[in-house]
Amino acid sequence: MKKIDLLIEAIKEKKSHVVVGLDPKLEEMPKEFMAKAKEKKLSLSEVIYSFNKEVIDAVYDLVPAVKPQVAYYEMYGLEGLLAYKKTIEYAKSKKLIVIGDIKRSDIGSTSLAYSRAHIGSVYYNEKKVNDFAVDAVTINPFLGSDTLKEFEEDMTNEGAMIFVLVKTSNKSSGELQDLESGGKKIYEHVSKLVSDMAKSHVGINGYSGVGAVTGATYKEELINIRNLMPRSYFLIPGYGAQGGVASDVVGGFNKDGLGAVINSSRGIIYAYKKYGKGIKESSRMAVIEMNRNINKALLEADKIAWK
Amino acid sequence: MKKIDLLIEAIKEKKSHVVVGLDPKLEEMPKEFMAKAKEKKLSLSEVIYSFNKEVIDAVYDLVPAVKPQVAYYEMYGLEGLLAYKKTIEYAKSKKLIVIGDIKRSDIGSTSLAYSRAHIGSVYYNEKKVNDFAVDAVTINPFLGSDTLKEFEEDMTNEGAMIFVLVKTSNKSSGELQDLESGGKKIYEHVSKLVSDMAKSHVGINGYSGVGAVTGATYKEELINIRNLMPRSYFLIPGYGAQGGVASDVVGGFNKDGLGAVINSSRGIIYAYKKYGKGIKESSRMAVIEMNRNINKALLEADKIAWK
C-alpha cells in the first residue's frame, strides 16, 4: 500500500491530523534530563535518542506521524546522525509514518543520490544500505521539475511520499515565493509543477504521494493553494511556536476533512516549559490539546474525516 | 584571514581556477580498485575515503579547492558521512580550501542549525563537535534572505564563505529561475539578495565571502550575472561532463582575472575512463588539461590574474 494511504488510515484511526516535529536541541531540553544524561555518561547520540524516545513513547498512540528535522541531527555530526537513524527506526517500530524534513534538491544525478539516501537504498557487497530511509521527505523546488522527478523511481518502488516546498512559514518567504510572473505568484508556479507531478501518484483514497509544504502563518495563501493542488496532501508547519493557530490551518483541508497534516515541534517536545511536568507527560498534554483544537476548528468548518 | 582571501591566494599561487568535485559513486570507480577493496575487506567508509585520498594526493598541488558533494556521502548512510568527515580533514591537511556542496536552507532557527553543522560548531560536555566543518558551503535561496542571514554569525567567526544558488546548470533550472517579475528574472532577484549581503563580507582582495553558484551551461546569463554581483566570487559547475567548455566560463571572470572557480567532478575523478590509466595519473592529467584550457581562454580574453 502507498504511504499516503497508510497516512490517511492512521489519521482516521487516531482521529488526529497532528505531526510531532522531532527537533532536538540540547539547550532546550530539561535541566534534570541533561544532568541525568551527564551522570550516566551518555554519548551525544544516546542523549538525543533517549529524548526522542521519551517523546515518541508519550505520543505514538495519539498521532499519525513524526517529522525529524535533519538539521538538528547534522548539527551534532556523526553522533547526531546516528541518533537520526535510531529515531527513525524506533518511530517506525511504533507504526508511525516518518517524514524526514530534509529540504534537499540538486541537479539530476545528485538529486537521485538524495532520493537513494532518504527514501530508497543502495548496496555495498550485497548488503543493503538505507540508514536514513523514511516514508516521506520534503523537497526544495528551486532547481525545477527535473530535480523532483529523480525521486519518482524510489517513490514508486517504496510507495514513499514527497512534500515539495510551495509557500514556507518564515517571514522572508515572500521575497521570492510571492513575486508575480505572468499574473501568477512564484508559489503558484511551483503549485503547478506539484499538481502536474501529483497526477501519477494517486492512492486509493484519491490523494497523491506528491504533496506540498505550505506554512500555517499565511492563511489566505493556504486557501488559494488548496484549490491549486486538489490531489496533494499538505504538510503545514508554523503551528504553535511560529504563531499559527487552529483556525489558520482549516483552509488547508478539503470538505472530506482530509488533505493536511499540521506539524508542531517546539510546542510539543518542549511543552515541559509550559506545563511544568516531565517530558512525557507534558508532550502528551500538548498533543491532546492540539488534537482537540484542530478537530474543533474542523468540526466548526464542517470538515470532518470521521463519524 | 578570511577564507575568500585564502582562496584567492591559492588561486594565484597554483595558477589555477579549478575546483575538483569529489562525488564518489561506487559503480563509477575502476573495477580493479573495487576488487582490491573487496579483497582487503574495506568498510564502505574506507572504500570511499581511499578513493578520495588517491584523487587528493594526485591533484592537491595543482588546484586551490575541492568540493565534496554531500549527497554522494549521505547516499551511503553513516559510513558515507564518516568518509565525508575524513575527506574534509584530509583535504584540509593538504591546505586545500574545502567547499561543502550541501545546498541547504530552512527557516531561521533551522538554517542556523545547518550553519552550525557545516561551517560552525556546537559543544557537548565541553567538547567541540564540528565533524562536517568546511571553509565554504552552497545555499539554496528559495526561502528568502532571513535563511541566508542565519549563516552570517559563523561566517564572521570562522571567516567562512557561502555560495548562494543563483542560476543552476540543469535543464529545468529555468522553470522558476528564469521567470520574469517586475522586468527582472527570478535569478536576478536572487542576485540582488546576494549582492546586498555581500557588501558586509568583503575581504582584503575586494571580493566577498558571499558568493554565487552560476552554471557553466548558461553562457549569456553568466555575463549578465557577473555585472549584477561585482563583489561576489562565483562557483561555476557544469564544466566537462555537463557540457560546459572553457570559453563558456570566461564571462564569469572579471578583468582582474579573478571572480570565479570552475568545478569539474566526473571529468576529473573518473578520468581513468578517458585516459586509461590509474585513478591518480588520470585525474592529474585531467586537471592539468583543464587548468591549461581555462587559463588559455582567460589569456585570450585578456583576463589574467598573474604575471
pLDDT at position B220 is: 81
Distance CA A150, CA A145 (A): 9
Cell of B93: 591537511
pLDDT reported for residue A220: 82
pLDDT value of position B216: 80
Supply angle C-alpha A111, A115, A120, rounded to 5: 155
**Which residue in chain A is spatially nearest to B142 when comparing CA positions?**
A142
Q: Nearest by CB to B110, from A69, A130, A143: name it.
A: A69
Break chain A down into helix, strand, coil percent, rounded to 5.
50, 20, 30
Does residue B238 have a pLDDT over 90?
no
From A234's Cα to the closest Cα of chain B, the distance in A is 17
Residues of A labelled catalytic: 103
Neighbouring C-alpha atoms within 13 Å toward the C-beta of A95:
9
Residues of B in contact with A111 (CB under 8 A): 71
d(CA B74, CA B100): 13
Predicted pLDDT of residue B99: 98
Among the partner residues B25, B44, B140, nearest to A140 by beta-carbon distance: B140
B30: three-class secondary structure by DSSP: coil
Residues B34, B30: Cα–Cα separation, whole Å: 6
Report pLDDT for B241: 76
| pTM score, whole prediction | 0.98
Digit-coded pLDDT (tens) for B92-125: 999 999 999 999 999 989 999 999 999 999 999 9
The string over B100-110, giving b where at least 16 C-beta atoms fall within 10 Å of a residue's C-beta and e elsewhere, is bbbbbbbbbbb
Q: Give me the DSSP letters along A200-213.
A: GGB-TTS-EEEEEE
Buried b (16+ CB within 10 A) or exposed e, B175-193: bbbbbebeeebbbbbbbeb
Backbone angles phi, psi at A198, to 5 degrees: -60, -30
- Among chain A residues, the shortest Cα distance to B141 is held by A142
* Rounded distance between C-alpha atoms, residue B50 and residue A228, angstroms: 49
Rounded to an integer, what distance in angstroms lies between the CA atom of residue A164 and that of residue B167?
20
- Residues of chain B in contact with residue A77, where contact means CB-CB under 8 angstroms, are 85, 117, 129-132
Task: Return the pLDDT at B240.
Answer: 83
Strand partners, A235: A213, A261
Report whether A161 contacts A123 (CB < 8 A). Answer: no
Put simply, the answer to whether A172 touches B146 (Cβ < 8 Å) is yes
Mapping DSSP to helix (H, G, I), strand (E, B) and coil, where does residue B266 land? Answer: helix
Cα distance between residue A208 and residue A102, in whole Å: 20
Q: Which residues of A touch B34 (CB under 8 A)?
A: none
Amino acid at A8: I
The one-digit pLDDT tens for each residue of chain A (307 residues) are 999 999 999 999 999 999 999 999 999 999 999 999 999 999 999 999 999 999 999 999 999 999 999 999 999 999 999 999 999 999 999 999 999 999 999 998 999 999 999 999 999 999 999 999 999 999 999 999 999 999 999 999 999 999 999 999 899 999 999 999 999 999 999 999 999 999 999 999 999 999 999 988 888 888 889 999 999 999 999 888 778 889 999 999 999 999 999 999 999 999 999 999 999 999 999 999 999 999 999 999 999 998 7
Is A189 in Cβ contact with B144 (below 8 Å)? no
Chain A residues with CB-CB distance to B174 below 8 A: 144
Asked if B216 and B262 count as a contact pair (C-beta separation under 8 A), the reply is yes
The grid cell for A248 is 489558520
Instruction: Supply the pLDDT for residue B225.
Output: 93
Closest CA to A193 of A217, A157, A225, A222: A225
pLDDT in tens, B5-63: 999 999 999 999 999 999 999 999 999 999 999 999 999 999 999 999 999 999 999 99
Contact flag A170-B143 (C-beta cutoff 8 Å): yes
Whether residue A189 and residue B179 make contact (CB cut-off 8 A), yes or no, is yes
Q: Which grid coordinates are listed for B12? A: 594565484
> Which among A108, A145, A176 has CB closest to B141?
A176
Query: Residue B83: closest CA among chain A residues belongs to which residue?
Result: A78
The C-alpha cell of B174 is what?
529555468
Query: Whole-angstrom Cα distance, residue B51 to residue B87?
Result: 10
Contact B104/B136 with Cβ under 8 angstroms?
no
Chain A residues with CB-CB distance to B75 below 8 A = 113-114, 116-117, 122
Computed over every residue of chain B, the mean pLDDT equals 96
For residue A115, the chain B residue with the least C-alpha distance is B75
| B166-188 pLDDT per residue, tens | 999 899 999 999 999 999 999 99
Q: What is the pLDDT of residues B282-305, one digit of tens each?
A: 999 999 999 999 999 999 999 999
Distance CA(A154)–CA(A159), nearest Å, equals 8
pLDDT at residue B307 greater than cutoff 80: no
Yes or no: say if B104 and A165 are a contact pair by the CB < 8 Å rule: no
Residues of B annotated as catalytic (active site), given as ranges: 103
How far is Cα B169 from Cα B255, in angstroms, rounded to an integer?
A: 24
